[in-house]
Amino acid sequence: MAELLRFRDDEPVDHPAVTVDAFGGQANAAAVRVEPGDDARALIPHLAHIRLVEVNFPAFTDGRGYSAARILREAGYTGELRAVGDVLVDQLAFMRRCGFDAFEPDQPFDDGEVRAAMSRFPHAYQPAAAGAQPIWVLRHPPANG
């Protein structure tokens, strides 16, 4: 059982996630698992009652889950977004910026490495889901900001 790293305070969902296909017929399910080939946009009409989306990374080199995460956050999803599978500490910062706020890696992270990864880059060039301001906002602060 892999350890769970969460960046949110609410209680984790306690029942297993269903597949995107199965979800269509089980509108009561509050947890869904997105595989790399799934279209995350299929979940958008149901976001209001989803509390957990697991995005599976069968191989860390497959980056489709990053787009899935951003698409869900862009659509207003505020529930837990958990990266599961072959998730490595060196991707943690990118994943946080795409909107992931929970991680269930196959190989548990080292706490020190997590802290180092999260604090290494003070800023980013791009706006992203985690809310930090991109460098171009810092360079050109809004007049009334």
Question: With CB under 8 A, what is the number of residues at the site for other proteins?
Answer: 34
Question: Which of 6, 49, 115, 123 is close enough to bind other proteins by CB under 8 A?
Answer: 123
Question: Which of 4, 12, 16, 116 is close enough to bind other proteins by CB under 8 A?
Answer: 116
Least distance from C-beta 91 to other proteins, angstroms?
Answer: 7
Phi, psi (rounded to 5 degrees) for 109: -75, 155
Using the rule CB under 8 A, is 108 a contact of other proteins? no
Radius of gyration over every alpha carbon of the chain, rounded to an integer in angstroms: 16
Write a three-state SS string for 111-145.
HHHHHHHHHCCCCCCCCCCCCCCCHHHHHCCCCCC
The site map against other proteins for 52-91 (x = CB under 8 A) is: --------xxxxx-xx--x---x-------------x-xx
Contact 52, 33 (CB under 8 A): no
Using the rule CB under 8 A, is 106 a contact of other proteins? no
